[in-house]
A and B are shown apart, each in its own frame.
Chain A
Amino acid sequence: AQSVTQLGSHVSVSEGALVLLRCNYSSSVPPYLFWYVQYPNQGLQLLLKYTSAATLVKGINGFEAEFKKSETSFHLTKPSAHMSDAAEYFCAVTRSGYSTLTFGKGTMLLVSP
C-alpha cells in the first residue's frame, strides 16, 4: 500500500520568502512522486515529478523538489514566493506498473504582501 502525508493544511509566507511544503510518503517499492497545484475552481496542474532519475527535480514556475529515500520525503521548495503562487498544492505517489495516483490531503499556500 502507498500513502502520502502532507504536513500542514495551511502554510503562510510573505512575498519574497522561501516556500517549503512538506511531503512524506510510504511505499513498499520504489515510488514515483508528483506535485500538483490547484488554483481556485480549476483542475490540477503538474508542477514536477520524480520517476527515479535525478533526485533533484526542477519544475515549472521556479519550484523544485528533492527525493530523499532515507527520509521518505519529497518536499517542494521555491526560493522566493510570488502572490501568484497562492493555491493548493498536492503531493501524490504511485509506482511502477501502477497507474493511479494516491494523493495527500493538500496544503493551502497563502502569500501575503
Chain B
Amino acid sequence: GAGVSQSPSNKVTEKGKDVELRCDPISGHTALYWYRQSLGQGLEFLIYFQGNSAPDKSGLPSDRFSAERTGGSVSTLTIQRTQQEDSAVYLCASSVAGGGTDTQYFGPGTRLTVL
C-alpha cells in the first residue's frame, strides 16, 4: 500500500488480557516508531526501530509493553495484562532512514479500549 497501515483499527479487551497491535510501514522505510495518544498524556513516544540496530525502548511505560519488528518490516506492539490506563490510540509511523530531519509518516492508529 501507499501508506502506513495498522490493524486492528479498534480493539476492545478486558482488563488483564494480552493484546497485539500490528503495523505495516511504508515499503523501503528502515525506521519505525510507535507512539501513544491519550487524553491525559497527549502524544508520547514508545519505541523506535532503525534497521538492524537495537531498538530504542526508552519510552515504554512498563515491562508489560514490548515490541518486535520482523524482517525489517512489520512490527507488533504487545501489551500484556492490560490495565484501564492503557486505553489510548496507538500510532505507528515510519520514515526513510531515521534521523532528526526525516519526515515521519503516520498510520491511522489502533484505538484500544480496556474495560
Contacts and interface: CB of A to CB of B under 8 A. Distances in A.
B43 interface: yes
Contacts, number: 60
Contacts of B45: 100-102
A98 B104 CA distance: 13
Interface stretch (A13-21, A41-49, A68-76): A41-49
Contacts of A106: 42-43
Contacts of A42: 108
Interface residues of chain B: helix, strand, loop or mixed (majority):
strand
Interface residues of B, number: 27
Interface in A85-110: 90, 92, 94-106
Interface of A: 32, 36, 41-46, 49, 51, 90, 92, 94-106
27 contacts: A41-B108, A42-B108, A43-B4, A43-B91, A44-B91, A44-B93, A46-B103, A49-B103, A51-B101, A90-B43, A99-B48, A99-B50, A99-B56, A99-B95, A99-B98, A99-B102, A100-B33, A100-B45, A100-B59, A101-B43, A102-B45, A103-B35, A103-B42, A103-B44, A104-B42, A105-B42, A106-B42
